[in-house]
Amino acid sequence: MKKFFTIFVLLCVCFAYTTATASAQGLTKLEHKNDATVGVYGINTATGQTYSHNADTRFAYASTFKAITSGLLLQQSSPEALNKTVTIKESDIVAYSPVTEQYVGKTMTLRQLISAAMLQSDNTASNIIMEQLGGLDQISSRLQALGDTTTNPQRYEPELNNYDPQSTADTSTPRATAHSLQQLLTTDAVAPQQRKFLQNLMFNNETGDSLIKKGVPDSYKVGDKSGQGTTYGTRNDVALIYPKHQTKPIVLVVFTKHQQQDAQPQDELVAQAARHAIHQLD
């Protein structure tokens, strides 16, 4: 009996190794086909299982960073503090601010600003959130307290979307981003009520339907925050995924970039990368 059990275990290990190898090869082929680099890191918080591909390669984080900064602001704010109001000035407004531009001369609560940043990817709301956190240096310090010494915030919106492969400014890695999101979205680093608020915003987001959500089974519950850069075809998505059969989520980060500066972002590249990853994580 012991011999048969040992054989069974070895067969399982071999199958898992073969499947993971096939997945890695599939992503490499995907990269070659699209002249792109794909970075993936996923954590199944129910099992501890991880999946990675170019997990320590730097990418522009673009608007996925709004999930991080929103989480950091929620970390330091009580539910009552989220009612604090901020006056929106004309000088605050930057490109792509569909919500805040309607509030010039008026006030918005921190709760409204977080919602605007997460649901409409409002850039002015994102900048105000970063200012409420004390600016870029304080954000770096807060990330380091979470164990993230990799992410390098250097600019505000919309300049942070201008990726330069010769610079680490406004870049992170899939691994660092996933671990920070895991802390902010699934642990007591953020109080339960505020954490639930951020999760619900991700689940109600509709801008990522063609990204990670497209790459996972329809029965899975997916919340995400997408991002798109202005150079090198940067297209990203970060997600909280609940497989139908488990109560703890998978945290998945997919970052993509291309070799050419004027390359176009590809949603399908993100979706296919997610499809490869989820098979290894659920």
Residue 86 near residue 122 (C-beta atoms within 8 A)? no
**Hey, what are 20's tokens?**
């993971």
Give the mean pLDDT of 60-86. Answer: 98
Average pLDDT, the chain: 93
Gap between the Cα atoms of 101 and 117, Å rounded: 13
Task: Return the amino acid letter for 232.
Answer: Y
Catalytic residue among 23, 63, 70, 115: 63
Residue 30 near residue 269 (C-beta atoms within 8 A)? yes
pTM: 0.91
> Does any domain span residue 128?
yes
Burial 74-87 (b: 16+ CB within 10 A, else e): bbebeeeebeeebe
SS3 31: helix
Is it the case that residue 115 has pLDDT exceeding 90?
A: yes
63 catalytic residue (yes or no): yes
Task: Return the amino acid letter for 136.
Answer: L
Strands (E), 48-148: 50-53, 59-60, 85-87, 107-109
> Does any domain span residue 5?
no
pLDDT digits (tens, 9 = 90+) for 74-95: 999 999 999 999 999 999 999 9
Q: How many domains does the chain have?
A: 1
Range of the domain at 257: 36-281
* Residue 3 pLDDT grade (very low, low, confident, very high; cuts 50, 70, 90): low
> Does any domain span residue 269?
yes
> Does any domain span residue 24?
no
> Does any domain span residue 26?
no
Is it the case that residue 281 has pLDDT exceeding 80?
A: yes
> Does any domain span residue 206?
yes
Residue showing tokens 């991080």: 68
Position 18 scores a pLDDT of: 45
Gap between the Cα atoms of 266 and 58, Å rounded: 18
> Does any domain span residue 190?
yes
Position 26 scores a pLDDT of: 86
CATH, residue 127:
3.40.710.10
> Does any domain span residue 275?
yes
Residue 241 near residue 212 (C-beta atoms within 8 A)? yes
Position 11 scores a pLDDT of: 43
